[in-house]
Structure 1
Amino acid sequence: MRPNIVQQYRGRFAPSPSGLLHFGSLIAALASYLDAKHNNGLWLVRIEDIDPPREKAGASTDILQTLELFGLHWDEQVLYQSQQSSLYREVLADLAQQKLSYYCHCTRAKIKALGGIYQGHCRGLAQPEADSATRVINTFGISQFNDIIQGHVACNQELAQEDFIVLRKDGLFAYQLAVVVDDIYQNITHVIRGCDLLEPTARQLSFYQTLQQKPPSYGHFPLAVAKPGFKLSKQNNAPEVDKNNPIPSLFSALKFLGQQPPNELLQANVAELLSWAITHWSISQVPKSQEIVL
């Protein structure tokens, strides 16, 4: 895998096409966009379409059309993870050659019965490839990191040290593999996303170490929740944002992110609102809580 290239700020928004763009995903798009543009950087869009059973027909196109209607225009060609299979396989082959991965037959039920955290049962068993998941040997087990928004973050240490799956038993590429490989491939320098991904960040930082690559800087904003512990998501059938009237949703998203747009911007057009938002964006004003009830 090619090394990171030091260059200007490169941020990204990476939605999965499991549903249409709702308020929670608009917050993610807007936060990553504004942080990139305020720092004179590039903003990329990546469609995480590596889990076909969860995907909704037409969702990818609809998400991209919605972003354009909301004035969130990306700077380079959209990357589809479904077109990255050869690169993922190359990385998996390299891990195997370096003896940094192994096949695992443990089921979720078995792991749950043993306390919910995988204890490396299959690491030395030379399991056959058939009907196996592939796990990476997690040598580093990073459990703490500094977050641009949340400050010092400490994750569950036992979970952070777990040998995690990089290729699922059903043959689908795991999220941890695809997201890290693609962030390296696209030379992403900053990742601004929701707090639901705080713990996965620890695993991703460990995986960067395994791949001997420099990780991006991470910033995690609060999740928009309907009630405590119940985030707005496509899986929870969160309503789609109003494509015909973007200003109220953009204004509300700015307020959610701790910004202070003047009320007169409710009468502005999308370009004017975003111009103000880019100029006045302050990531230090984003709330440090992990959830905000709408």
Structure 2
Amino acid sequence: MYRGRFAPTPSGPLHAGSLLTAVASWLDARAAGGQWWVRVDDLDQARAVPGAAATQLRQLEQHGLCWDGTVQYQSQRCPRYQAAVEELLAAGHAFYCSLSRKDLSACGGLHPGAAAAQPADLRDAAVRLRVPAQPHCIHDRLQGDHWVDLAACGGPFVIRRRDGIPAYQLACALDDVDDGMTDVLRGIDLLDSTHRQCLVMEALGCAPPRYGHLPVVVDRSGHKLSKSAGAAALSTDVSANLMQTLQRLRLTPPAALTGAPVAELLAWALPHWQSECLCGLASVPAD
């Protein structure tokens, strides 16, 4: 059975870009007769805004995006992440690294490899995953085959930070595996991260889900909307929000549905959903 998800970071309320991803992933799951889960990626407590997760969940409900199962919180899964780190270390897929950002900057941002990074004190070290020497390829259902030479793009990457906090690439990969996700639709800005998460899954002997990377919503300057850049929160007119989002997803509800309840808009959108209409798109304008 199809199982998809939406995984916001609780650094503020949802904005137009967040809603586009949520609606597309919800439609894709429901049109396939599958499940749609919600996970809160709250590992980085320094970025978390008090009350933001509750606000985001309320916004999803207001826009008719009801989820299956129980909301997952990454902050509650740290023992699972640590067990995976230890497994990867024991298998030789990962190594301890004591290099600082200053050290890496002196290397031109390219990690010099495990031999140059071994620390004397394991309590003050990050853990990095090895990357293949050859380019890595994933097939994206919307963007086609995508190749990245990870060895030339930073090299081995962090899966556990020096302070002991699990890194995003490890946590996201493990969550998708443990939750049985079959399909992940998310923004194209995460395409390079997908390669790293697939490597984590491969190292753990797990099959990755099927990925599709959606266009991101950009402002008039062509910059991606983001909470860190001050993107405006969604308006309180949920019907207008949803109508605009459907139009950005290349769906055009009839004029008679203008101002209609979100349930009616979603009911119209489900049989009209065709993810293929988004193939090759990298961005859509905010207005």
Considering the TM-score relative to the shorter chain, is it more than 0.5? Answer: yes
- Deviation digits for residues 102-131 of structure 1 (CA, Å, limit 9, x no counterpart): 111112232233222223154673542122
The aligned counterpart of 2:157 is 164
The aligned counterpart of 1:176 is 169
Whether 1:220 aligns to 2:213 is yes
Number of residue-to-residue matches in the alignment: 286
Q: Which amino acid aligns with 2:245?
A: A
2:118 to 103, 120, 125: 125
Matches within 5 A, 1:56-75: 56-75=49-68
1:213 and 1:160, CA in 2 relative to 1: closer, same or farther beyond 3 A? farther
Superposition CA RMSD, Å: 1.8
Does the 8 Å contact 1:26/1:253 carry over to 2?
A: yes
Shift of 1:279: 1.4
Shift of 1:139: 4.3
Deviating beyond 4 angstroms after TM superposition, the runs of 4 or more aligned structure 1 residues are 121-124, 139-142
Percent identity between matched residues is 38
Q: Distance in 1 between matches of 2:174 and 2:154?
A: 20
Structure 2, unaligned runs of 5 or more: none
1:153 to 123, 127, 146: 146
- Which one is further off, 46-55 or 149-158? 149-158
Does the 8 Å contact 2:131/2:151 carry over to 1?
A: no
The aligned counterpart of 2:269 is 277
Does the 8 Å contact 1:136/1:164 carry over to 2?
A: yes
Matches within 5 A, 1:224-243: 224-228=217-221, 230-242=223-235
Q: Distance in 1 between matches of 2:83 and 2:193?
A: 22
Does the 8 Å contact 1:38/1:279 carry over to 2?
A: yes
The aligned counterpart of 1:256 is 248
1:254 and 1:123, CA in 2 relative to 1: closer, same or farther beyond 3 A? farther
Shift of 1:165: 0.5
Q: Distance in 2 between matches of 1:124 and 1:116?
A: 14
Whether 1:289 aligns to 2:281 is yes
Shift of 1:247: 1.1
Whether 1:113 aligns to 2:122 is no
- Which one is further off, 152-161 or 193-202? 152-161
Q: Distance in 1 between matches of 2:80 and 2:277?
A: 38
Does the 8 Å contact 2:98/2:124 carry over to 1?
A: yes
1:141 and 1:191, CA in 2 relative to 1: closer, same or farther beyond 3 A? farther
Q: Distance in 2 between matches of 1:179 and 1:78?
A: 15
The aligned counterpart of 1:3 is none
1:260 and 1:159, CA in 2 relative to 1: closer, same or farther beyond 3 A? farther
- Which one is further off, 16-25 or 120-129? 120-129
Matches within 5 A, 1:181-220: 181-220=174-213
The aligned counterpart of 2:15 is 22
TM-score (norm 2): 0.94
Q: Which amino acid aligns with 1:260?
A: T
Does the 8 Å contact 1:160/1:199 carry over to 2?
A: no
Shift of 1:98: 1.9
Shift of 1:90: 1.1
TM-score (norm 1): 0.91
Q: Distance in 1 between matches of 2:129 and 2:150?
A: 17
Does the 8 Å contact 1:24/1:232 carry over to 2?
A: yes
Q: Distance in 2 between matches of 1:116 and 1:163?
A: 11
Q: Distance in 1 between matches of 2:42 and 2:252?
A: 35
Shift of 1:253: 1.0
Does the 8 Å contact 1:101/1:135 carry over to 2?
A: yes
2:239 to 239, 247, 251: 247
Q: 3-state SS of the aligned residue for 1:138?
A: coil
Shift of 1:142: 5.4
1:164 and 1:268, CA in 2 relative to 1: closer, same or farther beyond 3 A? same
